[in-house]
């Protein structure tokens, strides 16, 4: 991933140096397991721990000749270890190293992503509590529907983030497996007992069964979880983008001192952060599709998945890490305009309270169809006639006023009628 979207902490997980260090840790764990089983002398392990090291440039130099990265790595390590190096990679195949080390990488990245997801959760929670009673209009199809609160909008996001916290933990657990089962997974030159010991040293769970590789449905679940999180961020960001429109202006991204919105128009304050989130989410969804394509491999394995994962795993983890922290910052400093919310809500004199009027007329004896037609005509008149008001139309309508009192009409236009149960929902969420 390009530096622009890479936080150093996450980027460090995916460097060549970190990858080869994980390989070395995996190799040493197998040697240590063999020592515990009595098949390798303890002195060899001490010598390997003391002398085993690698040089990234030297590995690349060797790989140019041998055309195999694991062999290049092992060759370089053995250049430093000497005779004890004969116990390294004993009974193993390349994927034993690569896939188990990859699990370490993905687990570490997943735990870092959890930190960003938790930060976002806390930011949304704080704003939801703050705006629990900040009345605004709810929209369906982009059209005014009924009253809600801005905190209620955020509470919906909060619950979605909580589901992602569960999914992410499940994905981390699913990928935290190792395998040391040999060329086609049948333990032909290594034992299940050794696999269990080595995985325990790495704080991984042995894959219950594998071929030459750990099966890629695990990796696909992980990538799909990141794509799901990214798609929710896209959803949240899209809402902010709509609310920041000049003709709405109910909420706005923070605009920092010295920031400029346009090279040509000095007045501009654009939702560039939210637009950035929406754009990057598309990459996560595309990478998740690539992860699905990696599941069907030939027989016990091929390496068509390998080249794909060199791109999609670093890129997706780096991107979602960046996106979570950037969007959490937007939520933490979000600017909210309650007065604009109230102004927009009353744009046609209370048409958004039409359902309350409909139900009150039904209560008074009209059929639902009669009530609907009567309320709709007054609402659409307010919509279609400049300066007209739904409230005033109702109060002037003889049919309506023959059934309702003025106080009953006004009571129907009170947002509290719609929001009386909001507190119960917040209590259910613990907000």
**Burial class of residue 372 in the structure, from the number of CB atoms within 10 Å of its CB (0-12 exposed, 13-18 middle, 19+ buried):** middle
What is d(CA 99, CA 64) in angstroms, rounded to the nearest whole number? Answer: 22
Contacts 24+ apart (CB under 8 A), 254-263: 254/329, 254/330, 254/333, 254/334, 254/335, 255/335
If 0-12 CB within 10 Å is exposed, 13-18 middle and 19+ buried, where does residue 255 land? middle
Distance between CA atoms of residues 7 and 3, nearest Å: 8
Count helices and strands (H / E) in the chain.
19, 6
What token pair was written down for 156?
A: 């919906």
Give the DSSP letter string of 255-320: --TT--S-SS-TT----HHHHHHHHHHHHHHHHHHHHHHTS--STT--SHHHHHHHHHHHHHHHHH
Q: What DSSP designation does 250 have?
A: S
The tokens of 150 are what? Answer: 């801005």
Token pair in block for residue 385:
């006639």
Which active-site residues does the annotation give?
A: 141, 262
The SS3 of residue 220 is helix
Q: What 3-state class would DSSP assign to 403?
A: coil
Other Cβ atoms within 10 Å of 359 Cβ, number: 15
Tell me the sheet residues that pair with 177: 205
Residues in the chain: 431
Asked if residues 419 and 149 have their Cβ atoms less than 8 Å apart, the reply is yes
How many other C-beta atoms are found inside a 10 Å radius of the C-beta of residue 418? 18
Angle (CA) 159-270-261 rounded to 5° is: 145
């Amino acid at each position: 991933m390009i530096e622009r979207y890479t936080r150093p902490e996450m980027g460090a997980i995916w460097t060549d140096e970190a990858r080869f260090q994980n390989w070395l840790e995996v190799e040493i764990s197998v040697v240590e397991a063999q020592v515990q089983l009595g098949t390798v002398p303890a002195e060899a392990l001490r010598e390997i721990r003391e002398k085993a090291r690698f040089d990234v440039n030297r590995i690349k130099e060797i790989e140019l000749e041998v055309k195999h990265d694991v062999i290049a790595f092992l060759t370089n390590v053995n250049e430093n270890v000497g005779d004890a190096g004969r116990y390294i990679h004993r009974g193993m195949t390349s994927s034993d190293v690569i896939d188990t080390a990859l699990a370490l990488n993905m687990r570490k990245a997943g735990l870092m992503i959890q930190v960003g997801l938790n930060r976002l959760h806390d930011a949304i929670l704080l704003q939801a509590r703050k705006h629990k009673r900040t009345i605004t209009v709810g929209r369906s199809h982009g059209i005014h529907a009924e009253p809600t609160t801005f905190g209620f909008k955020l509470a919906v996001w909060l619950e979605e983030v909580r589901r992602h916290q569960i999914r992410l933990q499940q994905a981390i657990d699913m990928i935290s497996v190792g395998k040391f089962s040999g060329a086609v997974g049948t333990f032909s030159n290594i034992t299940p007992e050794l696999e269990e010991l080595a995985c325990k040293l790495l704080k991984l769970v042995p894959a219950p069964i594998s071929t030459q590789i750990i099966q890629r449905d695990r990796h696909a679940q992980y990538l799909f979880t990141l794509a799901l999180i990214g798609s929710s961020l896209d959803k949240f960001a899209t809402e902010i983008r709509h609310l920041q429109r000049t003709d709405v202006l109910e909420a706005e991204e923070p605009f920092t001192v010295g920031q400029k919105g346009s090279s040509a128009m000095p007045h501009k304050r654009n939702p560039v952060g939210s637009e950035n989130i929406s754009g990057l989410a598309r990459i996560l969804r595309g990478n998740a599709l690539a992860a699905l394509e990696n599941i069907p491999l030939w027989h016990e394995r091929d390496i068509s998945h390998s080249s794909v994962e060199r791109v999609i795993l670093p890129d997706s983890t780096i991107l979602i890490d960046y996106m979570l922290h950037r969007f959490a910052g937007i939520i933490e400093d979000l600017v909210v305009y309650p007065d604009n919310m109230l102004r927009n809500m009353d744009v046609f004199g209370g048409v958004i309270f039409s359902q309350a009027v409909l139900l009150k007329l039904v209560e008074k004896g009209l059929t639902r169809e009669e009530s609907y037609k009567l309320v709709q005509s007054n609402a659409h008149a307010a919509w279609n006639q400049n300066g007209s008001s739904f409230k005033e139309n109702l109060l002037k309508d003889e049919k309506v006023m023959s059934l309702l009192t003025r106080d009953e009409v006004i009571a129907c236009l009170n947002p509290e009628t719609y929001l009386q149960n909001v507190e119960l929902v917040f209590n259910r969420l613990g907000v």
